[in-house]
Chains A and B, each alone.
Chain A
Amino acid sequence: MAILVDERTKVVVAGITGSEGTFHSLRNRAYGTQVVAGVTPGKRGQDVEGIPVFDTVADAVEQTEANASLIFVPARFAAEAVYEAADAEVGVIVCITEGIPVRDMAQVRAYLRGNRTVLVGPNCPGLISPGRCNVGIIPGEICMPGRVGLVSRSGTLTYQIVHELTQRGIGQSTCVGMGGDPVHGIGFTGSLERFEADPETDLVVMIGEIGGADEEHAAAFIRDHITKPVVAYIAGFTAPPGKRMGHAGAIITGSSGTAQAKAEALEAAGVQVGRTPTEVAELAQAALS
C-alpha cells in the first residue's frame, strides 16, 4: 500500500535537462522508480540517458502514461509547471523548487481547490515509499521498508530522523516532505488521514517547526480522527521571534507560532513529542514494541 506513491507510479520530470533535474531523475530511476519521461520546452525528441524528453507534460502523459509529476524548474516558472501538470491530470505533483512567490502559491492553491490532484511541496524534498518508489531528492539509502509513516516540513531534518529510525531497524511505509513554505500543498492533516487509512502503516512520525499553525491544526485533527500512535518533533525551541529561520514559513510572529505552543498542543492531543531527533526515534521504537 503505502500512500501517494508506490511501484505503479510513473514519473514525468519537469526540468529534467537541468543539472539537479538530471542528477535526481537518474537517482530516482536507479532506486527502482519508473521515471518514464522528462519535459523541457524546445527539447522534444532528446533523451536523458534513455528517458525521453517532451515539450509539454500533456505530450508526456499521452505517450508514457505518466501519473506523477516531479518539478525542478526555477522559481519564476514553477507555478506554471504545477498548473501544466494539474491540467495534464497526473494524480500527484511533487514540487521541489524553493523560492516561489507567495502570491503564485496562493493562486495555485485556489486553482487546485476541488481538483483531485495532490500537490506535495513546494520547497520540499519530495516523497519516498521505501523499496518501491522515490520521487524527489530524499536519499533512498537511508530509508528502509517498514510500517512507520512520516510527514515533515523540513528536508534534511527528515533525513536525520529517518536515519535514526533505520539505524534502530524501524522501516518506513512512506515519508512525505511537505516543505517549508507558508503556502503549500498536502500538509500534516492530509498525510495523517492517509496514514490512518493505510493498512501498512502502524505509527506516524510528524516533524514540525516554528511558524504558522499547521501543528496546532494537526493536533486537533489527531484528537478527533487518528487512532494510530503519533510521535512528533518540533524544531526551533531556541529560535528568536521575528526572525525568518531559513524557511520562508519558519518565523515566530509576535507570540504565535512558537515551538513551545506547538509541542503543548500536540501533547494535549496525546502525541508524544521528542526533544531531539534521537529521542523521536526512541519514542517510536517504544511505541511499536
Chain B
Amino acid sequence: MDLYEHQGKDLFAKHGISLPERAVATTPEEAADSAERLGGHVAVKVQVQAGGRGKGGGVALVHSPQEAADAARRMLAEGFNGTVVTRVLVERLVDIAAQFYAAISLDRSVGAYLAMVSNEGGVDIETVAQESPSAIRRLHVDAMLGLRPYHARRLSGHLPEETREGAAELLGSMFEVLASADATLVEVNPFVQLTDGTVMALDAKVTIDDNALFRQPDVEALKESFPVDPIEKRAKDAGLQYVKLEGEVGIIGNGAGLVMSTLDVVAQAGASAANFLDVGGGASAEVMATSLEVILSDPDVKSVLINIFGGITRGDLVAEGVLGALSRVSLEVPIVVRLDGTNAEEGRRLLAEANHPMIFPAETMLEAARRAADLARGAAA
C-alpha cells in the first residue's frame, strides 16, 4: 500500500525527521488559509499514490494565498494522470543549499534491506544510477541487525562534510520508520541541506507491506483515504485478489500463477481477460458464489472462465458455489468451468447433474480458454 506524501511525512515527524511546516487542504479555501498562515510562499502538491508529480504538473510553487487557492482548485478539479485528487499538501518554501537522495527498500533477491544515498537529489534516481553511478552509495542492511550508526556513516560518507551528520541521523530515523510501520520502501527525494545548515526531508514516499496491516492498525486506517473502484472494493471485502483489466472474458481461478497463466492462454486464444481474480486456497462455496457475483457485476464481461485446479481448494465446493450463485444472480453470460485436482470428479458430477444451459464444462485449460474466447466473441458479434 503506497501512502500519500503527507501520510508518510506524519510518520516521519513521529520519528523526529525535520520537515517543512505544512498543512493538508481539501478545498481551495483551505489551501489559501494554510498559505496565509505559512507566510504566503508555499508549494502546493497533489496527494496521489504515484511518483512523477514534479514533471507532471503536480507541484506548484506559489507566492500568495490567492495563487495557492488557484493551484489547489486546478489540481482538485483536474486530478493527476487520470487519478482522482481529493487533497493537496501546502508547504512552506525553504531556502535550499543542496539536494540529495536517500532510500531504504526491500531487496527481495537477497531477502534483506538495501539502503542507498545519492549526492544528486531531486532527480530520477534510475537516471543517476545510469549516468553517474559513483554518486550513489549502497549497503545491505540485515533485518535482524537493523541500520546501525556505522552503516549510516558509510552511506553518507560521500556527501559534503557539513551534511554527513544530519544525513546519518536521517537514515537512522528512516529505518525506524521502515521497521516500526512495516514499510517495504521509505524514500526521500530530495532531502536537502538548508542555507542555515538544517538537513530536512522535502518529500516522503512510503510503501507499506499489505501482509503486515494486521499489526499496523494506524496505517490500516489510512486505507479509507484512497480512491477505490467499487468492484475492486467488493472483491477485497470478500477476501479476493482482484485486478480489473481491459478485456471481455471474466476470469476466476485459484492460485495467482494459474490465474496469470489463464489470462495469458485466453490472450493466445484471441480474446483478452476482463480481470484477474484469485479465490485463493481453500475457497468455500460462499467465496465462489461471491466471486461470480463480482465478475458478473462488471458490464464488460461477455463470458466467464472458471479455472480451478484443486489442492486445498475442493472441486465439489467450487461446483456448489457456482450453482449456489445461480440462485442469487441472473445469469446472462455463459460460464465455462474447468475443474481438476482435489474432489474434481465430485464437482464435475454436480455440474453435470444441474445441466444448466449457460454452464459449459471443459476438459482442459486450453479447451476452456478457447471456448470462453469463442463465447465472448459470439456475444460481441
Which chain A residues have a beta carbon within 8 Å of chain B's beta carbons? 20, 24, 75-76, 98-103, 105-107, 109-111, 125, 137-139, 142, 152-160, 163, 180, 182-184, 207, 209-210, 212-214, 217, 233, 235-240, 243-250, 254, 259, 275-278
B258 interface residue, CB < 8 Å from A?
Answer: yes
Question: In terms of DSSP, what is the predominant structure of the interface of chain B?
Answer: mixed
Contacting A at CB under 8 A, from B210-235, are: 210-212, 214-215
Which B residues between 336 and 373 are near A, CB-CB below 8 angstroms?
340-342, 364-366
A166-B272 Cα distance, complex, nearest whole Å: 29
Say yes or no for B113: interface residue by CB 8 A criterion: yes
- Quote the shortest CB–CB distance from B46 to chain A (angstroms): 18
How far apart are the CA atoms of A88 and B215 in the complex, in Å? 28
Given A75-B211, A183-B108, A276–B265 Cβ distance below 8 Å? Answer: yes
With a cutoff of 8 Å between Cβ atoms, the chain B residues found around residue A137 in the complex are 281, 311-312
Instruction: Please tell me if the beta carbons of B366 and A99 are within 8 angstroms of each other in the complex.
Output: no
Please tell me which one of the listed residues A155, A184, A213, A250 contacts residue B311 in the complex, with CB atoms under 8 A apart.
A155
**A235 in contact with B260 (CB, 8 Å):** yes
Complex contact B261–A103 (CB within 8 A): no
B39 at the interface (CB under 8 A from A): no
When C-beta atoms are compared, the residue in chain B nearest to A275 turns out to be: B268
CB distance from B86 to the nearest CB of A (A): 20
Task: Bits for B318-348, please: 1 = Cβ < 8 Å to A, else 0.
Answer: 0000000000000000000000111000000
Tell whether, in the assembled complex, residue A157 and residue B212 are in contact, meaning their CB atoms are under 8 Å apart. Answer: no
Chain A, Cβ-Cβ closest to B181: A103
Q: Do A110 and B144 touch (CB < 8 A)?
A: yes
* Cβ–Cβ contact A110 & B281, under 8 A: no
Q: Which of B182, B255, B267, B276 has the most CB of A within 10 A?
A: B255
Of residues 177 through 227 on chain B, the ones whose CB sits less than 8 Å from some CB of chain A are 179, 182, 184, 209-212, 214-215
Q: Given the interface contacts A156-B258, A239-B263, does A76 sit within 8 Å of B184 by beta carbon?
A: no
Q: Which residues of chain B come closer than 8 Å to A212, judged between CB atoms? A: 108-109
Q: A75-B211, A214-B109 are in contact. Are A238 and B263 (CB under 8 A)?
A: yes
Of A156, A243, A278, the residue contacting B254 (CB under 8 A) is A156
- Specify which of B209, B254, B280 lies most central, judged by the most chain A CB atoms within 10 Å of its CB: B209
A246 to B278, CA, bound (A): 6
Among candidates A20, A109, A139, A250, residue contacting B111 with C-beta atoms closer than 8 Å: A109
A276 touches B268 (CB 8 A): yes
Q: Answer whether residue B96 sits at the interface, using C-beta atoms and an 8 A cutoff.
A: no
Q: How far, in whole Å, are A233 and B144 apart by their CA atoms in the complex? A: 35
B143 near A209: Cβ-Cβ < 8 Å: no
Q: Which residues of B contact A249 (CB under 8 A)?
A: 108
Chain A: minimal CB distance from B376 (Å): 15
User: With the chains together, A212 CA to B144 CA distance in Å?
Assistant: 22
CA distance A110 to B142 in the complex (A): 6
B106 interface residue, CB < 8 Å from A? yes
A-B contact pairs, 15 of them (CB 8 A): A76-B214, A101-B212, A107-B143, A109-B110, A109-B111, A109-B143, A155-B311, A157-B260, A160-B258, A163-B309, A183-B111, A217-B109, A246-B260, A276-B366, A277-B261
A250 and B341 contact, CB distance less than 8 A: no
User: Is A101 a contact of B215 with CB atoms below 8 Å?
Assistant: yes
Residue B65, interface by CB 8 Å: no
Confirm or deny: B243 has a beta carbon within 8 angstroms of a beta carbon on chain A.
yes
* In the complex, chain A residues whose CB is within 8 Å of the CB of B255: 154-157, 246
Contact: B257 with A235, CB < 8 Å? yes
CB distance from A215 to the nearest CB of B (A): 11
Contact residues, B263-320 vs A (CB, 8 A): 263-265, 267-268, 272-273, 276, 278, 280-282, 308-313
Contact A106 B211 (CB under 8 A): no
Report how far A217 CA is from B111 CA in the complex, Å.
14
User: What 19 additional pairs, Cβ within 8 angstroms, besides A158-B257, A246-B241?
Assistant: A75-B214, A103-B212, A106-B143, A109-B143, A110-B143, A137-B311, A154-B261, A155-B255, A156-B257, A157-B261, A159-B309, A159-B311, A159-B341, A163-B341, A212-B108, A243-B276, A245-B243, A248-B210, A248-B211
Provide the bound-state CA to CA distance between A102 and B184, in Å.
8
Q: Which residue of B lies closest to A177 (CB)?
A: B311
Contact yes or no, A101 B268, CB < 8 A: no
- B253 contacts chain A at the CB level, 8 A cutoff: yes
Question: A246 — nearest CB in chain B belongs to which residue?
Answer: B256
Name the CB-closest residue of A to B126. Answer: A254
Residues of A within 8 A of B381 (CB): none
With contacts A156-B255, A160-B258, A237-B264 taken as known, whether A277 is within 8 angstroms of B365 at the C-beta atoms is yes
A75, A152, A212, A277: residue with the most chain B Cβ atoms closer than 10 Å:
A277
Q: Are A245 and B106 in contact (CB under 8 A)?
A: no
B260 touches A156 (CB 8 A): no
Q: Is the CB of A180 within 8 A of B113?
A: no
Beyond A103-B209, A106-B112, A159-B309, whether A247 also contacts B143 by CB under 8 A is no
A107 CB to nearest B CB, Å: 5
Checking A111, A158, A238, A278 against B272 with a beta-carbon cut-off of 8 angstroms, the contacting residue is A238
B145 within 8 A of A: yes
Collect the chain A residues with CB atoms within 8 Å of residue B212's CB: 101-103
Q: In the complex the two chains form, what is the Cα distance from A254 to B254 in whole Å?
A: 27
> Does A245 contact B256, Cβ atoms closer than 8 Å?
yes
Q: Are B366's CB and A106's CB within 8 A?
A: no
Q: Are A99 and B211 in contact (CB under 8 A)?
A: yes
